[in-house]
Structure 1
Amino acid sequence: MTQDNKLDRFPRAQFMSGPTPLERLDRLSSELGIDLWLKRDDLTGLGFGGNKTRQLEFYFGDALQKGADTILITGAVQSNFVRSAAAAAAKLGMQSVLQLEERVSDMGKAYYSSGNVLLAQILGAEHMTYPEGEDEVGADAALHARADELKAQGRKPYVIHLGLNHPPLGALGYFVAGQELCQQMPDVDAIVVPSGSGATHGGLLTGVALEENTASVFGVCVRRDSEKQMARMKTVLQKLADLLDIDAAPLHDRLNVMDEALPPGYGKLSGGTRAALDKMARTEGIFLDPVYTAKTFAGLLHLVSEGKIQPGQKVVMVHTGGLPALFGYQNELASDLS
């Protein structure tokens, strides 16, 4: 069975206009002694772009097949996922309910009013809040409670779940991306990607593996330490393998996560993360976000310094977008500059 055939039974909304480009980073390649490329998934187009567009194609495909008219989703205050979901809903004439969780402490006013929050307001989304940031089951339950209220009003809600006890439909989008990347660059040696919910990392690893590409796939932890993330990724890979009717064991054998760039925690900037963000901007003119891609690039720099990425290797970093969050972090970024 081909990869395309494996996806035939999953309904899919069309948000992607085509493959995202691979861009060589000439100056950084020279500086680091590697052949460094960026997979520009910040350029997916819909609602400021980003990696979530790929995932939402499969969630919205399922929602449309089930006749839904309202999407409910949960995430951090500056979540790219909820902003992208609101954009997708607007494009399809649906309503969106965005639940914002308190995951990052001690943030300034801009964090709650700018960036993704502002964009979601412009998109006309309904907002609700959840007081905890590490309670996926509770956050999903709160969405279902709101969905029940909407049903009583005659609406047809569809919940995009956060918890691990649901099929990772969004990971199918990065299964496609793994196939796409291998077709663009079959001789890639290493791929570096952020690892948070696990859908992007797990889908990409699965797509690469089923293309019989031997590249190392490094997942850079952005939310949990490597031990907790490894356990989460095994669950994601197993559930994705079940969806695709494949064996998960070879995927587990290729699983690689690292947490050196994680401190001081999710959504928090360290000196190394800030340095990585500045280096990319000042060397290549490309912006990274504080939550995902700056940590990913910091992880890549660590892999080079430790020799886990070797001189001359062809390396692709996945740029997952998230750029609106830069404006939500303006107080933290500006204070560093001063």
Structure 2
Amino acid sequence: MTHVRITEDSGIPLVGSLYFGIIDRGTSLLQVRPSCGCNLNCPFCSVDAGPCSTTRATTYEVELEYLLSAIEEIAPFKGPGVECHIDSPGEPLLYSRLPELVKALKSTDPVTVVSLQTNGTLLDDIKITALAKAGLDRVNLSLHAVDPMLARELAGVDEYDINKVMGAAMAVAKSSIDLLIAPVYMPGINDAEIPKLIDFAKACDAGKRFPPLGIQKFERYKYGRTPKGVKVQSWWQFFNRSIKEWEKASGLCLRLDPNRDFGTFRRPSLPQVFKKGEKATVEIMAPGWIHGEMLGIARNRVISVYGCDKSSGQVRVRIVATKNNIYIGVPI
């Protein structure tokens, strides 16, 4: 697998890609993606990440100073009360300078909250202490089962240790960092585990400032993986059957509201520089994340060019997707 290090000198912008950099979805929350590698092979992964991926061809790592310069430029545009959520189409704790990133984000005006998405396998007392000292506000922990055998199966690696991950979760909850347990509910797979995870969240005192749980609905994605036996729910079924039943049994409010629970509000998005259907000339700069894809640049944005047979030079493309300033093009 190819590894691409993205620096200011690389000439690759940090807006436009789903794989790295900064994603602005029109709210006061900015997704910050410093890297995209993963150490698990979850059979329900929405992006087919991990060591056994059949579609992923490249990993990316953004130089810390370059990433921070982009945040310092974009965050003020969003107005006061910005949350920087460090996530990845993988595992963010693989980024070696994570505590430095957290500390720098916390000191960036107008950032008020810094949160982190993680599968928890790389969390230990040393890392938790470093992240707490850096000012991390919340850990969103991807924890999908308590049963050791099922938890290992859902991680996709034999070395997954649910006891270690749950121990790390309790250590996070005891620190100055808030803990939110964020399981993906897969009907037919982990039905019996959700009540156990709710009990675990209560037992370790998760959710001091933020909600203790954020139960996610399983969805099928074009380049994702779907475990055998899963029954995909409609949103109506998810909220009015599953969530409602767990709320009644637990006494907790499990329907999260971005405004009420996280202080996330609609804000103007960064201006789009392309329109869907527009034709443009892009400069090919790096291999794409999936086989048959290349990353091009134009107008200071990254464009993922699908079905591209050139590894360098200019390519004429038609823009087929522009949502959230994430650009996809196809050669013409």
Q: Which is strand-richer, 1 or 2?
A: 2
Q: Same fold (TM over 0.5)?
A: no
> Which structure's CA Rg is the greater one?
2
- Give the TM-score, by structure 1 length: 0.33
- Give the TM-score, by structure 2 length: 0.34
Structure with bigger RCO (C-alpha 8 Å, 6+ apart): 1
